[in-house]
Amino acid sequence: MILRGPRLRSFHHRSAQEISMLRNILVAASLATALSTSAVLAQDTMNQGHDMSSMDHGMMDDSPSSKAFAEANAKMHKDMAVPLTGNADVDFVQGMIPHHQGAIDMAKIVLEHGKDPEIRKLAEEVIAAQEGEIAMMKEWLAKNGQ
C-alpha cells in the first residue's frame, strides 16, 4: 500500500508523535535510573553505619516546598518498587507510571509554591504530558493483560 496525500501526512504525524513519546519515555527512564541509583547509594551509605552528622546539610531546609518535594520524591521511589515480572515491557511500564505520577506531584508543588512564570508554565506542561502518558501506559497494560 502506498501512502499519499492526507494518509501520508497522518502516518507521518502519528509516527512523529510516537517517536516523541518514546523519546520522552526514554528520557524519563534514564532519569528514573539515575534517581534510583542515587537513592540506593544514599540508603546503602546510611545502612553501613557511616556517621553523617558532620555532613553539610546547609542545602536542606524546613520550608513547606522542600518538605513537599522530599515527601513526593520518597513516595515516588517507594511506588516505583514494583514486583518484576520478567517481561521488560511490563516492568518498564509498571515502573514508569509511578515515576510519571511523581513528576506530576512535584509539578503541583511548583504550582503551589513556585513564583517563576516560566517554571510554572513548564510545570503545567509536565502535568498535561505525564497525565497523557500515564493514561496511555495504563491502556497498554490493560490491552496486554496486566
Residue 95 · residue 32 · CB < 8 Å: yes
Nearest to residue 132, comparing CAs of 26, 33, 21? 21
Reply yes or no on whether the pLDDT at 49 is more than 50: no
* pLDDT recorded at residue 10: 55
pLDDT value, residue 31: 59
The domain limits of the chain are 65-146
The predicted model scores a pTM of 0.60
- Asked which of 4-8, 17-21, 22-26, 88-92 is least confident by mean pLDDT, the reply is 4-8
Query: Looking at the domain covering 65-146, what would its CATH class be?
Result: mainly alpha
Alpha helices in the chain (DSSP H): 5-47, 64-80, 88-113, 117-143
Distance CA 138, CA 95 (A): 11
For the segment 65-75, the average pLDDT, to the nearest whole number, is 93
